[in-house]
Amino acid sequence: MGGTLFDLVANASSRHPDRPLLLAPDRIPLTGGALETAVADLAGDLRRLGVRAGDVVASVLPNGPEAVTIFLASAIAGTAAPLNPGYRTAEIDFYLADLTPRLVVLPPAGASEAEEACRRRGVPVARLRLHPEAGRATLTGHEDPVDHPLDPDPEDVALILHTSGTTSRPKMVPLRHRNLAASAAHVAGTLRLTADDRCLNVMPLFHIHGLVAAVLASLCAGGSVVATPGFVGTEFFGWFEQFHPTWYTAVPTIHQGILDRSESAHRVIAANPLRFIRSSSASLAPRVMSRLEEVFRAPVVEAYGMTEAAHQIACNPLPPGIRKPGTVGPPAGPEVAILTTDGIDTRPGVEGEVVIRGVNVTSGYLAAPDVNADAFVDGWFRTGDLGSFDTDGYLKLLGRSKEMINRGGETIAPREIDDVLLEHPGVRQALAFGVPDRRLGEQVAAVVVPEPDAELDEMELRRWTEARLSAAKVPRRILFMDSIPRGPTGKLQRIGLAERLGLADLDGTEARHDPPTPPRTALERLLADLWAEVLHVEEVDVEAPFLELGGDSMLATRLLARVQETLDLELSMVGFFDRPTVAAQATFIEEMLVDDG
C-alpha cells in the first residue's frame, strides 16, 4: 500500500468496491467504490473553492460520516484541520489565527459562533449540502477555481492538530501522510483487523484517537466503520444492535458510561458479540477493565498514544498474547525507550521519560523552534510521560513529568495514588494531584467520584491509602465530587486542578485576605450568610475560596442543598468549585436568572 491517505482510500475501494465501508445512523451505507468517489468529489469541490495543495482547510463539524469524508478530502486536496464544534467564538478565533486556513467547512446550518469567527478574520466559509448516503456531500461557497492535481506526496502535511494546552499555549502538530498511513497500519496490525471487522466509532473526529484508531485503521484493513454522532448513552446499544460491530475504541469515561447502561442490554450484547474492546487516551482502571470483560465476554486491550505519534505508541496484545493490566503493552509501532540522566536506556526497571522515534512520529511542532529544540534528543521525541519497561518489555506509565508531585524533595507519581483509590469498591473515579504547600513545596490531594449509593468519607479513604502507600503518598485532602474536570477529548485535567478548585497551602500558612472583603450586593449578603451558617463562622470573605475558609466536599454538598432550599436553584458540584467564592457564585447565579428570565 502507498504512503498517503489517497492511497489508503483507493486501496480500500479497489479491494471492496461493493461492500459497505462507511455507515451511520439513518443514512444509506457508503460502499468502498462510493467512498472513493465521495472523497474525490469533495476534494474537487475544495479545488473549485480555491484550495491549493498545502492550503489548510479547517472544519467545524459534528461527529458523523461527513466529518470522515471532509477530513479525507481536505488531507488529499490540502491539509486538514478539524476543530472541536463545541468551541466558542473566541476559541475558534484563536485557532484560526494559528492555522490561517484558506477555507473553513461548516455544517449545512448552525455553527453561528464559527461563522462569526470566520467573518471577523475574513476567512471564506463553505457549507455542506448532505446527500442520503453516509458521507456523500457537496460544498457550496464562493468559487475561485484552481487547477491542481489531486496527487499528494507521503511527505506532504495531511493533518494539523493542536496539543491540549493544559500547561502552556497549545502547539500545532503537523502530521504527514506517511505518519498517518504508518500509524493506521500499526493499529490495524496490532488488532489483527480484517475486512470482516466493523468499528463502532464513538470518539470525536477532531482528535487523533478517533481519526486514526477508528477510521483510518479500519479502512487500512478494508474493514468498515460506523460514524455515530459521538457517545450517546441512550443510543449506544441501539447502534450496537443495528450495526453489529466487532469492536469499538474509547476513553475510560466512555467505557464507564457504557457499563452504566449494560444491565438492560444483556440480550443485545449476547446477540452481537464483540471480538475485542480497545481503550486509549487515558489510564483504564483495572476494575473497569475486568468489568468490561465480564459484561461483554471479550478481551479488553489498553493502548498508549499521543497526537505527536499520529496516535499509537504501545498496545497490549490480543489473546493468545498476554495482556497485563496496569501496563500499556509492548511498543506497537515506533521505537520506544527511556531517557535518563545517563542517556537512552531500554533495560527493565529503569525509570525515566518515555521517548519515541519512527515513521509515525511528527518531525516537529509548527512555528516553535525553541520548543522543538527541547522536544528532541538525538532524534528521539520526548513524550513528557514517565515510565519503565518490565522484564517482558511491557511499558508501564508512571505519569506526566509535569504532573509529578514534589513533596519535600520526594517525587511522587500521582497515578500510583489513583490506582490505590480506584481499588476501593466505593470509588468510581479518582484523580490525585499536587497542591502548593509552603513548608514542603507540594502536598498530595485527590478528587474522588463515589460509586452510586456508596457512603464514603475522607477519613475512610485516608485509612485505605495509609494501609497501601507510604505516608508521603497519602492524600492530605480528599474531595468528593459528582464528576472530575476533563478536557474535550475525555482526558482528566490533573494539571492546574489545585488552582481551579481554589486550594491553598495545606499546611495552613497561606495568608488570608486582610481585611476580608464584605458583601457588596443583596445576593452576596444572602450567600455569605449561608456560607457562614454551613462553615460555622461569623463572617465570610466574599473573595476567599470555599476550601480556604475551612470548607470541604461534604460541607460543599450541604451548602448546595441550602442554596437550593433558599433560592430554588440547583447548582452542580463541579460548577461550584469552578466558581469557589461567594462573589463568583453570586455573579453566576445572577447570569442564570437573567438567562431564565
- Residue 343 is inside which H or E element, if any? strand 343-345
Q: What is the mean pLDDT of the chain?
A: 90
Q: What predicted TM-score, i.e. pTM, was given to this entire model? A: 0.76
Distance in angstroms (rounded) separating the CA atoms of residues 222 and 161:
26
Q: Please write the tens of the pLDDT for every residue from 393-434.
A: 999 988 777 777 877 656 687 888 988 899 999 999 899 998
Give yes or no for residue 514 having a pLDDT over 60: no
Order of strands across the sheet with 276-279?
30-31, 20-23, 224-227, 198-201, 247-250, 276-279, 300-306, 311-315
Distance in angstroms (rounded) separating the CA atoms of residues 54 and 441:
48
User: What domains, with CATH codes, occur in the chain?
Assistant: 5-385 (3.40.50.12780), 404-500 (3.30.300.30), 522-596 (1.10.1200.10)
Give yes or no for residue 508 having a pLDDT over 70: no
567: cell is 433560592
Give yes or no for residue 565 having a pLDDT over 90: no
Give yes or no for residue 206 having a pLDDT over 70: yes
pLDDT at res. 294:
97
- Residue 239 is inside which H or E element, if any? helix 233-243
Distance in angstroms (rounded) separating the CA atoms of residues 316 and 303:
6
| CA nearest to 577, candidates 501, 497, 505 | 501
Confidence of residue 510 (pLDDT cuts 50, 70, 90): very low
Give yes or no for residue 491 having a pLDDT over 80: no
What type of residue sits at position 540? V
Q: Please write the tens of the pLDDT for every residue from 150-193.
A: 999 999 999 999 986 444 578 999 999 999 999 999 999 999 99
Beta-strand relationship, 198-201 and 224-227: parallel
Distance in angstroms (rounded) separating the CA atoms of residues 112 and 206:
18
Q: Please write the tens of the pLDDT for every residue from 426-454.
A: 999 899 998 887 656 778 999 999 998 88
Q: Are 47 and 26 in contact (CB under 8 A)?
A: no
Confidence of residue 535 (pLDDT cuts 50, 70, 90): confident
pLDDT at res. 440:
66
- For the CA atoms of 295, 493, 90, 176, the dihedral, rounded to the nearest 10 degrees, stands at -70
Give yes or no for residue 10 having a pLDDT over 50: yes
Distance in angstroms (rounded) separating the CA atoms of residues 14 and 416:
48
Distance in angstroms (rounded) separating the CA atoms of residues 281 and 204:
12
Confidence of residue 507 (pLDDT cuts 50, 70, 90): low
User: Distance between the two ends of the chain, CA-based, in angstroms?
Assistant: 60
C-alpha Rg value of the chain to the nearest Å = 25
Work out the average pLDDT over 294-316.
97
List C-alpha distances in Å: 124 to 97, 117, 150, 213, 494.
Answer: 14, 11, 21, 31, 38
pLDDT at res. 447:
93
Residue 479's DSSP bridge partners are 447
